[in-house]
Structure 1
Amino acid sequence: MASTRPQPAWLANSVLYQIYPQTFADGNGDGIGDLAGATEKLDHLAWLGVDAVWFSPLFASPFADAGYDVADYLSVAPRYGTNEDLAAFVDAARSRGIRVLLDLVAGHTSDQHPWFREWVDDPADGRYIWNERVGTPAGIWCPVPGRRGGYYQLNFYPCQPALNFGYARQDPGQPWRDPVDAEGPRANRQALRDVMAHWFDLGISGFRVDMAASLVKDDPGHVETARLWAEMREWLDREHPDRALLSEWGDPAVAVPAGFHADFFLHFGRPGLRSLWHTGVGTYDPSWTDTDRYFFDPEGSGGVDTFLREWRRATDAIGVGGGHVALPTSNHDYARLVTGPRTAPMARAAFAFVATWPSLPTIYYGDEIGMRYVEGLPDREGSLLQTTQDRTGSRTPMQWEPGPGAGFSTAPEADFYLPLDPSPERPDVATQRADEGSLLHLVRRLLALRHATPALQPEGSLEVLTEDYPFVYVRGGTHLVVVNPRREPAAATLPSGWDGARGLEVEGVRLDGGRAEASGFSYGIFERP
């Protein structure tokens, strides 16, 4: 069923690229990445074939949670530069055909935000969730530091008080539960629109919304939260129809019908992403009972059936033309593509899959050269939640060139935001640019092929031929993709018509006699003769 909501034309064939600003590129030599440094690297992104950049939070913050604790939604944090520097980045990106998206932390602020500082001393202010007498359960309620007294509800860390978007269900025993149409929740919805409009006016093309499902509390099935985002989408379609909203929800079957243009498959919640990439290294939750198999496993434990189940659930709910599922290689909260037993050469098959699947590919900075998840690093700005939730290793400085500093910064390495990967074999952009056989060049060719081939874009049809090793599917009726990400060879019987197909990007796959023969860690993209 087709969606009646308008869609930004630019989004459907976009390749997204996530920049973690602290560690992407340092332009002023203080050891922390910034907008000046990122601007200097735009030619790399244009050369690679990126269509849109998504920055993790750039807003003013005390950085207790690496910027996800916002103290001012309308100002760039001084460590990154100024609002003028962001405007210059947007202009420079636009001149290269690249759009810019910002991270919007919609459900909470920092406890240093002026809204919160005013709220703690003004009992009539309803912007945050207040409970005058009960401070339990522990970890959800924190004492209010001002004359208001009582407790405020947090969203993540204690420094992140939850903004009040109301409760879906009322309870006479909990009088602090405002309905979703109370004055405080209405004011916060308007504030979100005001923040987005401010940045749209400065050329921002959209937002990735952090913790998008967290806004309305005690909301079974996220019914009221979905209504809130549907209201936002109506406003967006009316006032800013060329802008996009992407959500950190982790359930596209719910988030996209609610109003988002796209939602990410994520490591938490449903198992779609974990069934592809999870190795048990880095971010891991003991509650995940479905991670004994993952398809891009060197030993071939399986799991593509789980991914396909989640994919079909999402796309059936979204409908044709209704929006997109964004498929990331990794992100700032989850272990990189190259992690644990999966090496950079093994990631080649993974990129062949990401570039040909009918989703929105999202490349996490550095994955295009095979940067690895680095274990055993110190906590920095809340990156280490617990021993099984270590996000630090996915946030190390981008490796631009060989040698000391890796081209990330001119500061002494001891002053870097996080240590560099200490491996003497760490990859870098300059070395791989000089090597046509490198992962970087492969990724560039794959993205160019996707852009040039409508059959490989989201609108192209999908026919899955096998749900095993090798994974074989047809895009647009004209292009065959074979992916074997395990060590052992694999083979599959093909329908007639593929013998003699032209190889477009092939490594270790042969079509012959109605069969696809795939060596270990191989991939092939073929065009029907």
Structure 2
Amino acid sequence: MTGVEASAGREATAGAVAAPQWLADAVIYEIYPQSFADSNGDGVGDLAGVRRHLDYLEWLGVDVIWFNPCFASPFRDAGYDVSDYLTIAPRYGTNEDMIAVVQEAGARGIRVLLDLVAGHTSVDHPWFQASMNDESDHRYVWSDRAGDTLVAAPGSRPGWYLKNFFPEQPALNFGFARLTPDEPWRQLPDAEGPQQNRAALREIIGYWLDQGIAGFRVDMAFSLVKDDPGLVETTALWRELGEWMRGAYPDAVLIPESDELRTADAGVRGGFDADFSLVIHDEHSALFNNGGAGILPWQESTEPCYFDADADAADGTRAFERFLSLWNLHPEANGADRLVVLPSADHDFSRLVCGNRTREQLPAAFTFLLTWGSIPSIYYGDEIGMRYLEDAPEKEGSIWTPKYNRAGCRTPMQWDDSLPNAGFSTAPPQDLYLPQDPDPERPAVAEQMDDPQSLLHFVRGLVQLRKSTPALGTRPSRRLLAVGYPLVYLRNETHLVVVNPLRRAARVAGELPPGSAVRHLFGNGVTVDDVGIHADGSAAGSSNSPRPTRSPRPTRSH
């Protein structure tokens, strides 16, 4: 990896492949490339814009950039419909521009992950253009009858093709785990078409790793082999691919878009380096879902979440217990040291600032994200408190269902207070990829960098605290002392973390372990005394003290 020291080696977790230490220590920053920074005034973010802001990312302290798909695409699903995996989309620049980002980020100690859309392509991909006119081509799944997830063939080939998401995203054929006489078109994973696609994945991964990329977040990673009970064939496919990758590129990583509702140990069995707590599923929603993007297709209603500024105490406690039951699936299935990425938000759902949650509650949310023991992923703009825009227009497939619009979390980054585009672009406002937040009080990077008391400085301070305090990382122990408001837990039996996302103050009674003493490290609004812990509204903090000879001496974070 150009400009970044090689890892000291991979550290194994129980039943898992060994993950490189750099991943265990990482703070990830997700960039939606259309919306981060526009360098050429066309209204769309690009890689040259990212390069201009690498100093900001270094200052913030993140050490991994995760890009949403940057490959050539007709952008019917914002780039998750790939037409050429080996070419950067012209709207973002060239392959050389990506290499420059990798090299210049690496010189600052920052690695780059790309988003790999492995299970489907665009209908515009040359593979599909050939397959839709050639009945002997088996790179995609073709049927002789219609169905709910089947789309009529657009070319000379008769029949229907299987889609993965939108109709314009035909599913690549990685085979079916089971054959059935009712669907004679099915092929097993070792058939020619599925094997051709496996070889293509290896080529794509190898090409970008040769350019200095540090690894991939894999979109819909467990969608590859169809009708696969227990994901047996899909995880075998990924383990085989991962073993090849680690042999050729020992420091590279693969992280799946996880689905804890299916099989908790799929990531380990697939040889992935970490799990990913997906924002559109309940593990993440139990913490942060205040509505915003709307009701997901599989939801009947929005359940209360823990980080709700006005939550009822009982509802909030139940929400955290719901999160905890799902979080515990990771260590229960995979070992206590299994790495899990927990994002603030992402490109598919509402931001942290949504519903009744405002910037004032975000210090508590970020304190949790950066001290819980997960690998934190910060969605661009969350560090300054950008809000989800509920009235954002549809853009490039952002509306999944009438009740679910993803555009509101994809609006342009707010760099400064300049009008009308907040430093994102010099284009006329009507030419922007998406409209800027029209709120005259919208937050911006420049003003918060000048304010030591800002959310941005708070997040930066937490990142620095995490980096300088091994007890707050992914490996040390965690022990819950109070579940509810406030939330109180010990890391490594030495560091006390207190989090209260409510607007109102909260208190937990009871003494700390005998002989305990606290020394404030970071945060505000938390008081620890002989009768309990008091947290002001929207308080969060961390403390520590030297380990005692007879009993733990916790510290507090707030």
State TM-score, norm by structure 2.
0.92
1:502 deviates by: 0.8
- Asked if residue 477 in structure 1 is aligned to residue 493 in structure 2, the reply is yes
Q: Hey, what's the Cα distance between the residues in 1 that align with 2:528 and 2:300?
A: 38
Q: Hey, what's the Cα distance between the residues in 2 that align with 1:261 and 1:221?
A: 19
Aligned to 1:519: 536
Aligned to 2:431: 415
Aligned to 2:43: 31
Aligned to 1:54: 66
1:385 deviates by: 1.6
1:497 deviates by: 4.7
One-letter identity of the residue aligned with 2:530: G
Q: Which stretch has the larger CA shift, 220-229 or 83-92?
A: 220-229
Q: Hey, what's the Cα distance between the residues in 2 that align with 1:287 and 1:116?
A: 30
One-letter identity of the residue aligned with 1:86: M
1:245 deviates by: 0.6
What secondary structure sits across from 1:272 in the alignment?
Answer: helix
1:146 deviates by: 2.0
Q: Do the aligned residues in 2 keep the contact of 1:384 with 1:391 (CA within 8 Å)? A: yes
- Asked if residue 103 in structure 1 is aligned to residue 118 in structure 2, the reply is no
Q: Which stretch has the larger CA shift, 344-353 or 3-12?
A: 3-12
> Where do 1:23-422 residues align within 5 Å?
23-132=35-144, 134-137=145-148, 140-251=149-260, 253-269=265-281, 271-285=282-296, 287-288=298-299, 291-300=302-311, 301-302=315-316, 303-321=319-337, 323-404=338-419, 405-422=421-438
1:221 deviates by: 2.1
Q: Hey, what's the Cα distance between the residues in 1 that align with 2:505 and 2:135?
A: 67
1:28 deviates by: 0.8
Superposition CA RMSD, Å? 1.4
Aligned to 1:488: 504
Q: Hey, what's the Cα distance between the residues in 2 that align with 1:345 and 1:235?
A: 47
1:378 deviates by: 1.1
- 1:285 and 1:36, CA in 2 relative to 1: closer, same or farther beyond 3 A? same
Q: Do the aligned residues in 2 keep the contact of 1:7 with 1:241 (CA within 8 Å)? A: no
1:199 deviates by: 0.2
Aligned to 1:444: 460
Deviation string, structure 1 residues 260-308 (Cα, Å, up to 9, x no partner): 1122212334x11010001122142253358422100112231111111
1:26 deviates by: 0.4
- 1:464 and 1:71, CA in 2 relative to 1: closer, same or farther beyond 3 A? same
1:203 deviates by: 0.2
Q: Hey, what's the Cα distance between the residues in 2 that align with 1:267 and 1:77?
A: 26
Q: Hey, what's the Cα distance between the residues in 2 that align with 1:229 and 1:472?
A: 38
What secondary structure sits across from 2:21 in the alignment?
Answer: coil
State TM-score, norm by structure 1.
0.97
Q: Hey, what's the Cα distance between the residues in 2 that align with 1:499 and 1:434?
A: 38
Give ranges in structure 1 of 5+ residues lacking alignment.
Answer: none
What secondary structure sits across from 2:415 in the alignment?
Answer: coil
What secondary structure sits across from 1:406 in the alignment?
Answer: coil
Q: Hey, what's the Cα distance between the residues in 2 that align with 1:516 and 1:506?
A: 14
Q: Hey, what's the Cα distance between the residues in 2 that align with 1:2 and 1:217?
A: 28
What secondary structure sits across from 1:358 in the alignment?
Answer: coil
Q: Hey, what's the Cα distance between the residues in 2 that align with 1:263 and 1:464?
A: 22
What secondary structure sits across from 2:328 in the alignment?
Answer: helix
Q: Hey, what's the Cα distance between the residues in 2 that align with 1:109 and 1:94?
A: 30
Q: Do the aligned residues in 1 keep the contact of 2:220 with 2:256 (CA within 8 Å)? A: yes
- 1:412 and 1:175, CA in 2 relative to 1: closer, same or farther beyond 3 A? same
Q: Do the aligned residues in 2 keep the contact of 1:480 with 1:528 (CA within 8 Å)? A: no
Q: Do the aligned residues in 2 keep the contact of 1:207 with 1:245 (CA within 8 Å)? A: yes
1:424 deviates by: 0.6
1:498 deviates by: 7.2
> Where do 1:12-31 residues align within 5 Å?
12-31=24-43
Q: Hey, what's the Cα distance between the residues in 2 that align with 1:111 and 1:17?
A: 30
Q: Hey, what's the Cα distance between the residues in 2 that align with 1:43 and 1:151?
A: 50
Q: Hey, what's the Cα distance between the residues in 1 that align with 2:98 and 2:152?
A: 37
Q: Do the aligned residues in 2 keep the contact of 1:370 with 1:427 (CA within 8 Å)? A: yes
Aligned to 2:449: 433
One-letter identity of the residue aligned with 2:125: H
Deviation string, structure 1 residues 375-421 (Cα, Å, up to 9, x no partner): 11111100112232110100000000002110101111111000000
Q: Hey, what's the Cα distance between the residues in 2 that align with 1:237 and 1:461?
A: 28
One-letter identity of the residue aligned with 1:349: A
1:181 deviates by: 1.1
Q: Do the aligned residues in 2 keep the contact of 1:256 with 1:324 (CA within 8 Å)? A: no
Q: Do the aligned residues in 2 keep the contact of 1:250 with 1:268 (CA within 8 Å)? A: no
- 1:31 and 1:4, CA in 2 relative to 1: closer, same or farther beyond 3 A? closer
1:422 deviates by: 0.5
One-letter identity of the residue aligned with 1:345: E
1:237 deviates by: 2.1
Deviation string, structure 1 residues 424-468 (Cα, Å, up to 9, x no partner): 110000000000000000000000000011100001111111121
Q: Do the aligned residues in 2 keep the contact of 1:400 with 1:406 (CA within 8 Å)? A: yes
Q: Do the aligned residues in 1 keep the contact of 2:176 with 2:186 (CA within 8 Å)? A: yes
Q: How many residues are treated as equivalent by the alignment?
A: 524
